[in-house]
Structure 1
Amino acid sequence: MTKRAFKGTEAPGPAVLISLGCAKNLVDSEILAAQIQSLGYPLTEAAEEAELIVVNTCGFLESAVQEAVEHILDLARLKEEGGCRHLVAVGCMVQRYGRKLPDLLPEVDLFLGTSQYHRFAEIFRRFLEGSSPKVFLERPTYLLDARMPRLRSTAPHTAYMKIAEGCSNRCSFCIIPKLRGPYRSRTVEDVAREARELADEGVVEINLIAQDTTAFGSDRGEVGALIRLLEALEAVDGLRWVRLLYAYPHRIHEDLLKAMAAGHKVVPYLDIPFQHSVPRILQAMHRVDLGRRPEEIVERIRKHLPQAALRTSLMVGFPGETENDFRALCRFVRDTEFDHVGVFAFSPEKGCGAASHPDQVPDPIKEARKEALMAIQQEVSRRKLAALVGRRLPVLVEGPHPETNLLAVGRLPTQAPEVDGQVIITEGEATVGQIVSAEIVRSHDYDLEARLVP
């Protein structure tokens, strides 16, 4: 789980906003941050100085809920000590547990569900006036647009851009549709407008995110909307890299791959949550494959984008997964040679269909399978990165190394922020936010070392 504190400088009165969870939640938090500032609270990173503390929670897994509760209880101590006056919980955990929370967390003054973060300023004003209920919950329908004020927490040169909200896929292991509502996407014109504004602010890299980016426009019956969006982003002055995250496997069509190959700004990178490789398991997961096996999808991608870096997420221990199924998944990872892999153990979340499936896999077996699969991927990653030594590649300079000012760090176009490895720059000088040429001089399990070259 990502935890991020926001920092602002404009208005009087201290507040802290803690963002938990994924990049999609982070965009919500950036809109929350602008709402908080509009009330006259400057944002600080020091919770002990804050009069207002807002926690944007994750609720996808029970472990994430527990972590959110622990954060809230830790912050509630500041309220007991008299420094913090108001404590607010927002987001997926609130949407999941709703009206049970006031009794469970009486320290919290306000609870706002996933369709309320854009109304924070209005709701909090009513709370201060004493005319507000404690819980704000409704069916999630809100969809942000480019007009919504947003205080970005990422570095000035990079941004996440959420192109859709919610999800209409019905995977049997997932409760996101219940937390976020049905899939609803923005228009090409609105997303392009936001991209132009971000580029005017100095953003050179945009990462497109949604629960399913490849479903963009499908809720309105539009065909080829994502391709039109990529074409529109090609025309944005100042923008250099566009990365596509969270691409649902069965929607990666040939037309999309051709459009990516023809573009100059769309980086050769696809994040595809395959979840598994065994057809029987995929069917039980309710993963739509339209007759195409994961291996066939990868083959199609590499036909059109031979240099593409592929990231995937895989789940081990789904109910009914046998040792033979797991061995097949291991072969899939070895043979496919993904550039980046995230492995998760199945969690039987209340409200998801698979929680009541028979043949649940014991936790120790799930954890052992997770470790074994990550060990296989570590070897794949080590081998693939070693093959880059000696090559000259473009690197986006991120800033000084967190452990020493003698080194800098950056990323290749095939490395997404926060989730993938990085490039450690050992020689040369460049400005943060520049994309420069670098020679790879050494490789590690997940990171690279490079020197900048003219």
Structure 2
Amino acid sequence: MLKAGFISLGCAKNLVDTEVMLGILAENAIELTTDPSTADILIVNTCSFIKSAKEESITTILNMAEYKTAGQCKTLIIAGCLGQRYKQELLDEMPEADAIIGTGAWHRIMEAVNETLKGNRVVIAGKADTIYDDKMPRIRTTPDYSAYIKIAEGCDNRCTYCVIPMVRGNYRSRTIEDITAEVKRLAARGVKEVNLIAQDTTNYGHDIYGKSRLTDLLRELVKIEELKWVRILYCYPKYFTDELIELMANEPKICKYVDLPLQHADNEVLRRMNRRDTKESVEELLQKIHARIPNVTVRSSFIVGFPGETQEQYQNLRDFVEAQRFDKVGVFTYSREEDTPAFSMENQVTEEVMQERYHDLMSLQCKISEEVNLQLEGSTFEVLIEGRDLEQKSVSYGRSYREAPEVDGQIYVENDLDSQPGDFIKVKIVQGFTYDVLGEKIQN
């Protein structure tokens, strides 16, 4: 039996593609292995969103290529966004690669495997117009109690810095019935937390229903008895409706966690980014969210150093972050990507200035995050346990509704000898830090 090893890079949306490809391989009697030295087939599902992601993808591919001599690898396949974006160029410039398979062709993974095992080098990019459904095989790589659910693929927003529409295609939603069927099946198998993902979750349904149907989808999912948490990630502010706010406020199963990538807060920069909101509209939305959703956690992300960003415009962003006091923030320096409108914009900001602004904004947010976490001391949360400290067996760790998987900090729980991954326990916070907090288990 042939063995396949998989490395998945980039976002959770890419991870779902990886899980479906794993399912297809398993259905075709290919054994899966986590040890690349024993794999006959190695597949790297790549990311090409920004420069650092591309560099990580290339490095990983080259590292895996070493198993052609140090292991038993017969074929090395480059999948995902990098393959979709650069296609033949990758095959020509990376002799280590045997096949390129793009985001529009993940369902043809066996075709790539079979062709390369015959000795052929192939490009199977396809048109980015597919999306998986509940009937597709899928082997989850996340813990048994948690799953990502991709409710839509692609994007129609056309931000001037972003390559996603190029590599993922136009926005396309799955049906409510199909998503609900998948979540019901996963919940019956022990999944307690589902994280809804798309390039823009709040735009869900516009393409197939003529209007946003995210709230209708959520109302179906919360009916699933076995589910404990439904978390919504990647929300675009323009489509964050009052109806969604009210549903989040009143439905216990929907995590009071708003993931709202805003990217900037200066109106001129937002215009050049082709964002569809303004500083004033975002401020109004944030005010509504905080007023209507008790104890809500708000996360955002911002880009510094966008072409033409002046010191004054950066200061407007800094002042906005300081005033809003987000619970969690990710900061990125602008990545100049070819084939995007921003690539050829005038007044590109130097790397030195970008780094100064990045560290300045991160320093500000670290201070805010620590103050937010210190204010949590004495509060009680329901925590989903995910593991145990390797050195202190009496310390477990997990997440509350305030922490999304992989991107946020942890809650460490002292004097907890019994809890197992997947358990929900009550925890009192005793100490807050910049990213993590320390708590103690409340005995029932």
TM class by shorter-chain length? over 0.9
- Assess if the C-alpha contact under 8 Å between 2:27 and 2:137 holds in 1: no
> Aligned letter for 2:216?
R
Q: 2:336 aligns with which of 342, 348, 354?
A: 348
Cα distance, 1:39 vs. partner? 2.8
Q: What pairs up with 1:9-408 in 2 under 5 angstroms?
A: 12-81=1-70, 83-129=72-118, 134-289=122-277, 292-402=280-390, 404-408=392-396
**Farther off after superposition, 118-127 or 208-217:** 118-127
Take 2:197 and 2:260, find their aligned partners in 1: how far apart are those partners?
12
| Greater alpha carbon shift after TM alignment, 27-36 vs 178-187 | 27-36
Give the conservation status (yes or no) of the 8 Å contact 1:268–1:413.
Answer: yes
Q: Residue 245 of structure 1: CA displacement?
A: 0.3
Distance (Å, rounded) in 1 between the aligned partners of 2:347 and 2:279:
26
Cα distance, 1:439–1:81 mapped onto 2, change above 3 Å: closer
Structure 1, residues 213-271: CA drift from partner, whole Å, max 9, x if none? 00100112433410001100110111000111000011111111111112121010010
Query: Once structures 1 and 2 are overlaid, which stretch shifts more, 13-22 or 154-163?
Result: 13-22
Give yes or no for contact 1:250–1:288 (8 Å, CA) kept in 2. Answer: yes
Q: Please give the alpha-carbon distance, in whole angstroms, between the structure 1 residues aligned to 2:196 and 2:371.
A: 29
Which amino acid is 2:159 matched to? C
Q: Distance between the aligned counterparts of 2:161 and 2:127, measured in 1? A: 21
Q: Percent of pairs identical after alignment?
A: 39
Q: Is the 8 A contact 1:279 1:293 kept in 2?
A: no
* 1:264 alignment partner, SS class: coil
- Secondary structure of residue in 1 paired with 2:55: helix
Q: Compute the displacement of 1:393 (Å).
A: 1.0
**Separation in 2, partners of 1:188, 1:215:** 14
Q: Write the deviation string for residues 285-319 of structure 1: whole angstroms up to 9, x where unpaired.
A: 00002785321121121122131100101000011
Report the secondary structure of 2:54's partner residue: helix
What amino acid is aligned across from residue 251 of structure 2 in structure 1? Answer: G
Q: Give the number of equivalent residue pairs.
A: 442
CA distance in 2, matches of 1:348, 1:409: 38
Match for 1:114: what amino acid?
Answer: T
Q: Secondary structure at the match of 1:21?
A: coil
What residue ranges of structure 1 are gaps of 5+ in the alignment? 1-11
- The residue aligned with 2:419 is 430
Does residue 442 of the first structure (1) align with residue 442 of the second (2)?
A: no
Answer yes or no: is the 8 Å Cα contact 2:331–2:362 preserved in 1: yes
Residues in 2 aligned to 1:213 and 1:136: alpha-carbon distance in whole angstroms:
28
- In 1, distance between residues paired with 2:284 and 2:240? 11
* Matched-pair contact (CA < 8 Å) for 1:250–1:290: no
Change (3 A) 1:446 1:291: closer
CA contact (8 A) 2:161 2:341 kept: yes
Task: Give the direction of change, closer, same or farther, for the CA distance of 1:297–1:405 in structure 2 (3 Å limit).
Answer: same
CA deviation vs aligned residue, 1:45-89 (integer Å, no higher than 9, x gap)? 211121111100111123212221111112112113462111111
Q: TM (normalized to structure 2)?
A: 0.96
Q: What letter corresponds to residue 48 of structure 2 in structure 1?
A: G
CA drift at 1:117:
1.1
User: Which is further off, 429-438 or 95-104?
Assistant: 429-438
Asked if the contact 1:424/1:447 (under 8 Å) is kept, the reply is yes
Question: What root-mean-square deviation, in Å, do the aligned CA atoms of Structure 1 and Structure 2 show?
Answer: 1.5
What are the Cα deviations for residues 117-176 of structure 1, in whole angstroms up to 9, with x where unaligned?
12212442344456x660012220101111111110111001111000000111001010
Moved more, 135-144 or 175-184: 135-144
Question: For structure 1, which segment, 135-144 or 308-317, has the greater mean C-alpha deviation from structure 2 after superposition?
Answer: 135-144
Structure 2 CA distance for partners of 1:377 and 1:402, relative to 1, 3 Å: farther
Cα distance between partner residues in 2 of 1:424 and 1:433: 15
Q: Is the 8 A contact 1:439 1:451 kept in 2?
A: yes
How many Å separate the matches in 2 of 1:118 and 1:170? 26
Q: Distance in 1 between matches of 2:121 and 2:92?
A: 14
Secondary structure (helix, strand or coil) at the match of 2:332 reads: strand
Q: CA–CA distance in 2 between the matches of 1:149 and 1:264?
A: 31
Say whether the 8 Å CA contact 1:196–1:237 is kept in structure 2.
no
Residues 427, 450 of structure 1: 8 Å contact kept? no
SS of residue matched to 1:451: strand
Amino acid paired to 1:38:
E
Amino acid at match of 2:350: P
